Structure formats: structure tokens, C-alpha cells
Amino acid sequence: MNKEIVKISIVMFIAFFTCTISAQRKKRIANKDTQEWRYDIECEGIAKQGSKLVKVWSYSKNPKFAIGQAMKNAVHGIIFKGYAGGGNGCTPFKPLARNVTAEKEHEAFFKSFFSDGGEFRKYVTAAADGNIAPGDRLKVSKREYKIGVVVNVATDQLRKRLESEGIVKALNAGF
Amino acid sequence: MKKNIISLIAIFVVTITVSFGQAKKPTLMVVPSDVWCNQNGYMLSFDNQGTEVKVPDYKRAFQENAEVLQVISQINGMMAERGFPLKNMESAIKTLESNAAEDNMRSSKDTGSGVSESPIDALKKVAKADIIMQLTWTVNRTGPKKSITFNLQGLDAYTDKQIATATGTGAPSFSAEVPVLLSEAVLSHMDNFTSSLQTHFDDMFANGREIIVRIQKWDDWDGDLETEYGDDDEELGVIIEDWLADNAVKGRFNTTDMTEDMALFEQVRIPLFNEKGRAIDARRFVKGLSKMLKSEPYEIPNKLVMKGLGRATIILGGK
């Protein structure tokens, strides 16, 4: 009887350990995708003053991780990519950092800013409670998903933070 | 001891930079465009020797149209958030009126004389800013659908150049009211406007402020811009061009017009600070030319008049 319990415990432990490692590995892969900034960003509509409502398409092998990475990607997109206009009254948006080398020049700041649980989280919230519309979950290859998540980025606050770091120039700088 | 001296020098340099490191800040004001005023019936008409002339009636527009106030208020708020509070045109008009009333009533306690005002002073008493944000919107209706075409132009009041812009048509809506659509239009376009304004400021800091310089002469002056001076008999017009080439940033300016009586120089790029580190505008820059013309060998008395940060005129032959 005791032997049975020990066997079951060992099997359960191995199963749990494997799952944890697998989850960590998937998260690492998702993080790697994010570090390469592999995503698309588009305007989703007119948000309230000082914010932008965007849909971020992130790529991941596990849809669960894509949602988490979408927030990081959204903030990155607002700072470095911008987006073209489109429907829903959207107008084109130029990235906050006008200097194309800003990311390299302030590498240390952005590394900590975009780390897991980093400061970027202050400037982004999930719209629609983080729910994903059925049409926004696309399987692009055998093992990869493209997930569209709608998030709200507090662009005014983000811009002020970057201005305080000297990464973005304020409109009234020099006057 | 050495460390103390270095610290003192560092503090001195920082103080100098903080004291003199700020360029002259342009003023901005939102003005409804002539097209908007005309479409909404806010125009004054008068007969100018047989030709009907229409001018915008801003005062009536601000008194009667709540939408224009809403849009201007929202733009003002968003610009203030970016560290650029705007001049409010409605308040500027009211201040001008109250100042005019006060000036009319004012008299000296000793002699009873009124406040001196030349016809030019009277002409200059208008609401003005260095950068005009010209605002136009139209409400498009297709059946029950409504949309807003919004156009905000940033115009340099001196060079007449459009230095910033944001324009586009919003998404059509069946149910939203016009004020809601207007609010959405402002929200969606202001970032583009400030972004293009930032590009203009970046260019200004890199290449200097762009101004206009005019040279004119009084009727009774016996010289003109073709009068020759110096050993090499150089014409005055060319001497002035040489001064501009020496003093403009990277020698950049265009001679747009040059006759014996007048000269017009456009796209003159002036430094934002003088050699003392003080912020300068068109008047302070052209003051150097005025001084040179007054001194030997030219000895031309002249009058320097200015218009805001970006336009200066020298009238040769007297004050």
C-alpha cells in the first residue's frame, strides 16, 4: 500500500515538474519573441484624452503567453513604432521616440522598463477585460498563433515619463 | 582647493545656462478660419469703393457659437498639457476693447493730455500671436449619417508658412451628436499637430529662427539702395546682403526683392541667442545691421520697426 502511494507521488511529482519546466520554456520562447519585438500594432478606435486604444497582434506558440506579451508589445509600439490610421476615425500616430537609435542609446533603461513586471505595466491596461474576440485568435502555422489583444496605452503619462528620462524631447523644451 | 574651484566653475556654468539658455517662446492662438466664419455666417460686409469686402466677425462667433468655444477649449487644454498654454482669442479681443476704453479715458494729472497713439499704434491693436492655429471644420451629412472633416493649420504669422498641420475626416456615425464628433476629431488630430509642431521647433533649434527683413527708405532721403559706398564702390543693397550672409545662421537667406527703394529678404535664419547667450528675436538681430548703417563710412540714419518675433523693417534716411 505504502509502495503504491510512493509510486503515485513520484509520478505526480515528475508530471508537475515537467509541466512547470514546459510552461517556463514556453514563457521563455514568448519572451524571446517579445525581445525580438515581433508584433503588429493597429489603431482600434478613439480612446479618452491622453490614451490610445490599440490592437496588438503578438505571435506565440501558446495563446496564453501572447496575451501577456501583448501589453509589453503595445507600449513598445507606442514608443518606437507608431501606427497608420484606418477605420474607426483613427489617424496615423508617430512613435513617441523620434530618434531611431533611442532604444540602443538607452538600452539599460528599456531593459529594466520592459522586464517582466517592469514599469511598462503602469502605462497599459487591457480593454474588454482581456477577452479575445474569436476572429483575433489565428493559427498562422502548425505550432504558432497570432493573437490580437485590444489594450489601452496611457500615452500622455508614458510620454512624460520618457521626457523625464531625456529620451523624448518635450514640446516646450528649450523655451 | 582645486576641487572647490572646479565646483564653483561648474555652478557658474550651470547658472549661466539656466539663466540664458531659453529661447524666446512663440505665442500660439487658435483662430477660426475665414472659411468657417463664412460658412457659419459670422462675417461683416462693407463697401470698399464699389467692391463688397467681407471680413470675419470673430466677436460674434465667440458670443453665439458654443461649438467653437468647445473645440478651442479642448485644444487649449491639450496644448497646455504639453507645456504650451495658448492665448485665448476671445479674451484677447476683450482685453483690447477694455484697454482702448481705458486709454480713451486716461489723461495726465498735470497737463490733462491724453495717451499718445500714432495711426500705426492704432493699426497694431489687434489680437495677435506668433503662430496662428487656423481652425476649420465642416459637418458632412449623408442621410442620417454624420461625420466631421477637421483641419487645423499652424501658420507662422511672419513668414506665412504652414509649419504644422492635422487634417482628416472622422468615422461617420448615425447616433453621435456633433459636439461628440468634434471632441473625437480634436482628440484624434492633436497628436499629429503637436508632432509636426515639434518638427518645426527641432528645425528652429538646429538651423535658427526663420524671419523676414525688409529695407525701405523715407521719401525725403536723397540716397537709395543703389548708392555706392567705400573704396570699391559697392552698392548699399549688396552691402546689406553681405551683412546678412555674415550674420545669418550658415549664411542662409533669400533676396526676394531688391529695387532702389526697397529690399525684401525672406527665409533669413537668425541664431536664437546672441554672443552673450541672451535670447534674441528679429528686432535684436536686425539692430546690428541698423547700427552698422548708422556708423562710418555709411552714416545713414535709420528707423528700426518690428512685428513680433519674426519680422523687422529698417527705414533708411531718418528716425
User: What is the structure's pLDDT at A30?
Assistant: 58
Grid coordinates belonging to A167:
529620451
Q: What is the pLDDT of residue A80?
A: 95
User: What percentage of residues in chain B have a pLDDT greater than 70?
Assistant: 93
Please report, as a single letter, which amino acid is at residue B178: V
Share of chain B above pLDDT 90, in %: 72
B187–chain A Cβ distance below 8 A for any pair? yes
Res B15 pLDDT > 60: no
What pLDDT is recorded for position A136? 87
For residue B27, which of B114, B137, B131, B174 has the smallest C-alpha distance? B131
Dihedral angle over CA of B169, B171, B174, B177, nearest 10: -60
Does A164 reach chain B within 8 Å, measured CB to CB?
no
Cell numbers for B52: 463688397
d(CA B167, CA B180): 17
pLDDT band at B154 (very low <50, low <70, confident <90, very high): very high
pLDDT at A21: 57
Confidence band of B35 (pLDDT split at 50, 70, 90): very high
Judge if ipTM > 0.90. no
Best of A52, A157, A160, A175 to substitute, by most chain B Cβ atoms within 10 angstroms, is A175
Residues of B in contact with A175 (CB under 8 A): 22-26
pLDDT band at A25 (very low <50, low <70, confident <90, very high): low
Selection from A96, A120, A95, A121 nearest residue A110 by Cα: A120
Contact between A159 and A168 (Cβ < 8 Å): yes
By Cβ distance, the residue of B83, B192, B205 closest to A91 is B192
